[in-house]
Amino acid sequence: MKWLVVLGLVALSECLVRIPLTKVKSIRENLRENDTLRDYLEKYPFNPARFLSKYHQHRELALEPMRNYLDMAYVGIITIGTPPQEFRVILDTGSADLWVPSTYCNSMPCGGHHIFKPQLSSTFRPSGRHMNIAYGSGQISGHVGYDTVRIGGLVDENQALGLSHKVHGNFMDFSVFDGILGLGYPGLAIRGTTPVFDNLWEKGLLSENVFAVYLSSRKERGSVLMLGGVDPSYYAGELNWVPVSQPLYWQVAMDSITLNGTVIACKGGCQAIIDTGTSMLTGPPTSVADINHKLRALYSYGGEYRVHCDTIDTLPNIAFVINGISYPVPASAYTRKARAGTCYTNFESFHSKSPETNTWILGDVFLRLYFSVFDRANNRV
């Protein structure tokens, strides 16, 4: 029996697929370094609320109403088509569609990126369906096609993907990724399409209906997405499971946010979305302003808050309490240093014209501290 158990563990480890992730500059960082962040934010303010009212009106419109498109920073490599064409994509738990720029794209922002050429793929199949994907600061339109997608050695045949024709807004000018591969629930995807992870599971290519994310800020061990299992060598202690409160995003109930044991936000409970596609800690405007005030951070343009770099070591931990367990985030994680030695906090609010939502987005700032497992079989994180 002992040998059977050992053999079973070996078999499972062989079925675990690892996709290396690379941390790249976010759109926000590129805009700031080009001295265009202020102008961009004034022209394209992040306002998720303007998409919410449309959600049930245009079912072929895939909506990402909680997405802040300026802060995606981790990319992985996939290929599409036969022979394979390579793309750098955000592996994003906050959306569910796969899209890449295509040869049909007549917008300037498509330049400088890898372009999918369906006419060169023997396995490509058009669908004749249109698609529009709206984000907080831009929109992509095109059509849906089907082709073979390869990710981490897995071959996902007949996978639905969006081929961009037009990009509204110029965010692609400043992005170092080509497209996005969503890992959210199917309810976020374009109607009638199946997300990549669901396809992999339904085709029997994964040993477990689960994936995990390890985001590293250290050089000695790179960031990785794990499909079909969990490598326990990437974390210490026990996994603390939290039920998904709404199977659309990877959304959970959060008890509170505390500073030195005192509740400073999410009083009485709120919702939190665990999102690899957002760098920041994003929340309601009033709560974010209050937290930054307690940190003695000064408001800057675009919803950013500046803090004196020489005070960071004196700032307290801020804890996110989820399912009764406190997850502290130190000042070294919730602050960042930009060009010219200016420091900012990583707390960001939804656009001020948005309604006061009681939802937070826990992005890469949080995920770099806490190894996260996404369990579709049991709808838990």
364 catalytic per annotation: no
From the candidates 71, 92, 178, 364, give the one annotated as an active-site residue: 92
From the candidates 156, 255, 275, 364, give the one annotated as an active-site residue: 275
Distance between CA atoms of 88 and 19, rounded to whole angstroms? 12
How far, in Å, are 23, 237, 298 from residue 151 at the CA level? 18, 30, 43
147 catalytic per annotation: no
How far, in Å, are 40, 52, 279, 304, 349 from residue 343 at the CA level? 20, 33, 16, 10, 17
Give the residue numbers annotated as catalytic, written as ranges: 92, 275
